[in-house]
């Protein structure tokens, strides 16, 4: 696969979108295993729940855990793309979003190698990108994350279809925020930068969300082996 063929032209050059990165059978296999995970594996947050595989990233280092075999085929396919250079993916975050749920604009931060690869499952969704707050906004904490402020700072959206892969790296990873708005449906407009790479979707369509899962595959540089940690 030549990633240049999948670069999003109407966006900064560090976003790559691959539709149908996995098959329908692969998607069903992943969903089956995600929902078969032991209940304690889920962490419930206020607007979504998640699973950590490979360990819990921490500023002092991630204690390495073995990745499950059912994740390995997806990890191997991402590793083949060499987006982490000579490093191997060692962490997978599974996020589940129910209808109407999302995540506030945020950075993934310095705990990770500055590249993230995400496989989407089950439902389409819009991923939004934002500029950081300017100095005048930063001085007004109450207004910093108001709807008006977010609209002013929003500059890019991508449609993430089921079974697709999105790669965000370099300046798009380090210099901007990304998030998912809390709503039950997404309206397709000509401001969606990767629309030319999406199938059977046109401006004016309304995509109703269902439950969505995502597999965020990353490399955590700072790790601690379990034996050393126990000592």
In a domain, 229, yes or no: no
- pLDDT, residue 147, reads 64
In a domain, 173, yes or no: yes
In a domain, 230, yes or no: no
In a domain, 62, yes or no: yes
- pLDDT, residue 226, reads 66
Q: How far apart are the C-alpha atoms of 51 and 96, rounded to whole Å?
A: 9
CATH of the domain at 54: 2.60.120.590
| Long-range own/partner contacts, residues 7-11 (CB < 8 A, 24 or more apart) | 8/158, 8/193, 8/194, 8/197, 9/196, 10/193, 10/194, 10/196, 11/156, 11/158, 11/172, 11/193, 11/194
The residue range of the domain holding 172 is: 4-135+144-223
- pLDDT, residue 137, reads 41
**Tell me: the pLDDT tens digits for 202-222?**
999 999 999 999 999 999 999
Q: Which residues of the chain have pLDDT under 70?
A: 134-148, 226-231
In a domain, 231, yes or no: no
**Tell me: the pLDDT tens digits for 57-92?**
999 999 999 999 999 999 999 999 999 999 999 999
- pLDDT, residue 139, reads 37
Q: What's this model's pTM, rounded to 2 decimal places? A: 0.90
Q: Which of 29, 11, 2, 5 is nearest to 119 (CA)?
A: 29
In a domain, 228, yes or no: no
In a domain, 88, yes or no: yes
Query: Looking at the 3D structure of the chain, how many domains does it have?
Result: 1
- pLDDT, residue 200, reads 85
In a domain, 84, yes or no: yes
């Amino acid at each position: 696969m030549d990633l240049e063929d999948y670069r999003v032209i109407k966006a900064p050059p560090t976003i790559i979108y691959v539709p149908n990165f996995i098959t329908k059978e692969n998607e069903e296999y992943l969903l089956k295993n995600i929902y078969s995970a032991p209940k304690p594996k889920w962490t419930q947050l206020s607007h979504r729940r998640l699973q950590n595989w490979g360990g819990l990233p921490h500023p002092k280092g991630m204690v390495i855990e073995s990745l499950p075999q059912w994740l390995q085929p997806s990890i191997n396919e991402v590793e083949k793309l060499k987006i982490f250079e000579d490093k191997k993916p060692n962490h997978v975050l599974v996020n589940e979003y129910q209808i109407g749920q999302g995540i506030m604009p945020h950075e993934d931060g310095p705990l990770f190698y500055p590249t993230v690869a995400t496989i989407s499952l089950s439902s389409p969704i819009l991923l939004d990108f934002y500029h950081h707050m300017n100095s005048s906004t930063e001085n007004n904490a109450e207004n910093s994350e108001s709807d008006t402020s977010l609209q002013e700072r929003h500059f890019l959206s991508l449609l993430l279809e089921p079974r697709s892969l999105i790669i965000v790296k370099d300046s798009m990873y380090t210099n901007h925020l990304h998030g998912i708005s809390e709503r039950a449906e997404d309206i397709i407009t000509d401001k969606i930068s990767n629309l030319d790479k999406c199938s059977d979707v046109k401006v004016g369509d309304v995509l109703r969300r269902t439950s969505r899962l995502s597999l965020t595959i990353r490399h955590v540089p700072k790790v601690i082996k379990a034996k050393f940690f126990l000592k």
